[in-house]
Amino acid sequence: MSITIITVNYHTESFLPALLESLTEQITIEAWIIVDNSGTFENSLSAAFPIRIISQKNNPGYAKAVNLAVRYVNTRWALLVNPDALLLPGMVQLLREAAVQFSAPVSGPRFFWDNARRFRMPPAPGDHPWLATALIGASQHFTEAYTLDHYWQLRHDHFWRQTTPFYEPFLSGACLLLDLQWFENNSEPVFDDRFFLYYEDTDLCMRLLQHQIQPLCVPEAQMVHYYNQSPAPASKKQQLMAQARAQFYQKHFGTVPAQCSISIAKPASEPALLGKFQHSPEFTIEKESNGPLYFEISHNPWFIPFIQTQTRGNTPIILPDEVWQQLEPGRYYTRLRHPTLGTQKTWQWNKI
């Protein structure tokens, strides 16, 4: 069974050669369809399989671009993958085998942040009223934020502990294997065209849940997804995210809950500011642990969500250059957490 790759480019063509190299290591790829929403991409890529460029001078949005590409797919299976990603060897075959075995119309891999595969990305949080309510509570009460932090630790640890395919309510749209036959049989589009950018994957997973189907995560299928590589400025991203969130809630629940920042709620004892840095600070660990420790990075003091790597302590931690370069300027929180004893140390710092 052959697979067609779909990628949407919007001023991210510098990532495409590396993505192509990782695609050539996969088997059963019939074609690669690139929808160029920037309208400026001049193809210089070549591969053993055909590469089709669909150029659109007026950016119609991500969801419309994907749905357009689907019209040109001649295979039952399509792999939707971001430009800023690398597929690890065997990933496509592992996804397809699991999707066939479990009759899953949508499946996806687990993600690493770096080429060395040291930093593990979190599960997709999705969005739904109970989470919105929990975030509002966490923004107002220390105990609510603490409880939500505890829940997210359990969710993250469960996500990375699995060794066989498992169901998740939401998957990241950075890489999704799609059974197009299922979408045709159920008269479902892959994405809702009304979502210009963001929440189209959350909406897709919600529609699956309405069919009493959960997306499938395949832990042996792995890929690297570079963090936050969209060319839009941070303020524009926040605006688009807020618009998409409102569309999602209005569509599925008929009302839009208040949006708040989890960082409004401060811990009872917030860590002192480590400083402002142009290069990674050194995170000193005073003593060696008897077991593994998790080093975790987040935008907020409650670590919802976080990116994680593992250490044993007694060795200072410095973020690799490839990780540091992916971070936008701003405030970050890092912590050292024992799997059973909890948080051992927390830092906050600014990247400038």
Q: Where are the alpha helices (DSSP H) in the chain?
A: 16-23, 62-70, 91-102, 129-140, 142-161, 180-185, 200-210, 234-253, 321-324
For residues 206 and 307, state if they share a domain: no
Judge whether 258 lies within some domain. no
Asked if 111 and 98 touch (Cβ cutoff 8 Å), the reply is: no
Residue 167 domain boundaries: 3-235
Asked if 226 and 84 touch (Cβ cutoff 8 Å), the reply is: yes
For residues 202 and 120, state if they share a domain: yes
- At residue 272, the pLDDT reads 82
- At residue 135, the pLDDT reads 86
**For 170, which DSSP code?**
-
Tokens of 331: 């405030």
For residues 221 and 90, state if they share a domain: yes
Judge whether 265 lies within some domain. no
- At residue 236, the pLDDT reads 87
For residues 225 and 127, state if they share a domain: yes
For residues 27 and 161, state if they share a domain: yes
Domain end marker among 235, 264, 297 = 235
For residues 63 and 144, state if they share a domain: yes
- At residue 266, the pLDDT reads 59
What's the chain's length in residues?
A: 352
Residues in the chain where the model's pLDDT stays below 50:
263
**CATH number of the structural domain spanning residue 123:** 3.90.550.10
Tokens of 197: 């950018």
**Pairing verdict, β 216-225 and 106-112:** parallel
What are the pLDDT digits (tens) for 39-63?
A: 989 888 999 999 999 999 899 999 9
List, as one string, the DSSP characters of 278-334.
SSPPEE---SEEEEEEEEEEESSTT-SS-EEEEEEESS-EE--HHHHTTSPSEEEEE
Write down the pTM of the prediction: 0.94
What are the pLDDT digits (tens) for 280-301?
A: 999 988 766 777 899 999 998 8
What are the pLDDT digits (tens) for 150-182?
A: 999 999 999 999 999 999 999 999 999 999 999
Tokens of 101: 């075995």
- Chain centre distance of CA 81: 11
Judge whether 264 lies within some domain. no
**CATH number of the structural domain spanning residue 311:** 2.60.40
For residues 219 and 327, state if they share a domain: no
- Give me the number of domains the chain comprises: 2
Judge whether 135 lies within some domain. yes
Asked if 82 and 175 touch (Cβ cutoff 8 Å), the reply is: yes
Judge whether 132 lies within some domain. yes
Judge whether 252 lies within some domain. no
For residues 145 and 288, state if they share a domain: no
- At residue 196, the pLDDT reads 97
For residues 343 and 199, state if they share a domain: no
Burial of 160 (0-12, 13-18, 19+ CB in 10 A): middle
Judge whether 58 lies within some domain. yes
Judge whether 243 lies within some domain. no
Domain end marker among 235, 252, 282 = 235
For residues 229 and 277, state if they share a domain: no
For residues 204 and 285, state if they share a domain: no
For residues 223 and 301, state if they share a domain: no
